[in-house]
Amino acid sequence: MIVDSSVHDRLLPKIVAAVEAQVTGDPADDATDVGPLVDEAAAKRVESWVDEAVEAGATLLTGGKREGATYAPPSSPASRPTSPWPAPRSSARS
């Protein structure tokens, strides 16, 4: 998500709250927002990517916990150039 700096500080807590409100679990349960990945190996792969991003300097604000094949959605305010996540782009136009 690209966020203009003029709204960043107001928007960030709302994004974190929205991510934290997502329920992970059984996709057959109507209360579930985020179901499991295809298998535990896929969840471990996502877990390793998030761990690498944090080790490279990213800040994990919420989520980022694996339980079997389920991975709680992570939220990070910015990517780092050495992170496996895409680097943020400026929304400014010239």
Q: Give the model confidence (pLDDT) of 69-93 as tens digits.
A: 999 998 877 654 445 555 555 444 4
**Cβ-count burial 2-25 (b if 16+ within 10 Å, e if not):** ebeeeeeeeeeeebeeebeeeebe
Angle at alpha carbon of residue 22, lines to 6 and 45, rounded to 5°: 95
Model confidence band, residue 8 (pLDDT cutoffs 50, 70, 90):
confident
The better pLDDT of the pair 2, 37 is held by: 37
The better pLDDT of the pair 37, 8 is held by: 37
pLDDT value for 2: 75
pLDDT tens-digit map of 24-50:
989 999 999 999 999 999 999 999 999
Average pLDDT on 45-60 reads 90
